[in-house]
Amino acid sequence: MIDLQNVSKAYAAGTPAVNDMNIHIDEGEFVFIVGDSGAGKSTLIKLLLKELEPTSGKIVINGKELKKIKRKHIPLLRRDIGVVFQDFRLLKDRNVYENVEFAQIVVESPKEVRKRKVPAMLSMVGLAEKYKSYPHELSGGEQQRVAIARALVNDPPILLADEPTGNLDPKNAWETMKLLEEINKRGTTVIVVTHNKEVVDAMKKRVITIRDGHIVSDERKGGYSNEN
């Protein structure tokens, strides 16, 4: 599903942000990626989305080597990866239905498909009755669920969540994580980048800990590593 083979990324000066990293994530896994600020997590996300090119090494996603993908085909690659951000990134001038539908419009889904898929996704995240609401009318947890619905509406095999609980209170944070776990149980590979030690320790999933661009631990059923 996802393979990083001896991947490094160095910027113009200084120590590489990602240094000789090797990661293999199987289809259907749920993986936490943890580490302090500056550990290399943001660079890793950008490498997976082909926003950055590695200085050395190889990245393969769904059998596609990213280095060989032409610029015009990058949007096709990104259809395989739904992304959820800490700050939600919803369109403020569109309601809940339109925010989720926008992801389908971008990939030119027919109207009849959108009319079926969007309500189904809103129902899955528990927001079927809020479809006419605008982002400012929703709680933080509800906005995050809209963002998750938008990320999943095109059925990507991979969901990448970047600090999905960072702007949420503890109750909404747990509800978000339960939703991500349910999505994973349906077959989606879920990768969560987070600082939330309590969530990581409680969920007992695979945890990859990064420090100074290196993987310092990879625990299959671990908690937040003491190495971090």
- Tens digit of each residue's pLDDT (9 = 90 or more) over 150-171: 999 999 999 999 999 988 999 9
Per-domain residue ranges for the chain?
1-63+157-223, 90-155
Residue 202 DSSP class:
H
Predicted confidence (pLDDT) at residue 31 exceeds the cutoff of 50: yes
Answer yes or no: are the C-beta atoms of 7 and 55 closer than 8 Å.
no
pLDDT on residue 222: 63
Provide mean pLDDT across the span 12-37: 92
Helix (H) or strand (E) holding 29: none
Percent of the chain with pLDDT over 90: 80
Neighbours of 190 (CB within 10 A): 23
CATH topology of domain 1-63+157-223: Rossmann fold (3.40.50)
pLDDT on residue 195: 86
Predicted confidence (pLDDT) at residue 228 exceeds the cutoff of 50: no
**Any idea which of 5-14, 58-67, 143-152, 211-220 has the lowest mean pLDDT?**
5-14
Distance (Å, whole) CA 1 – CA 60 = 8
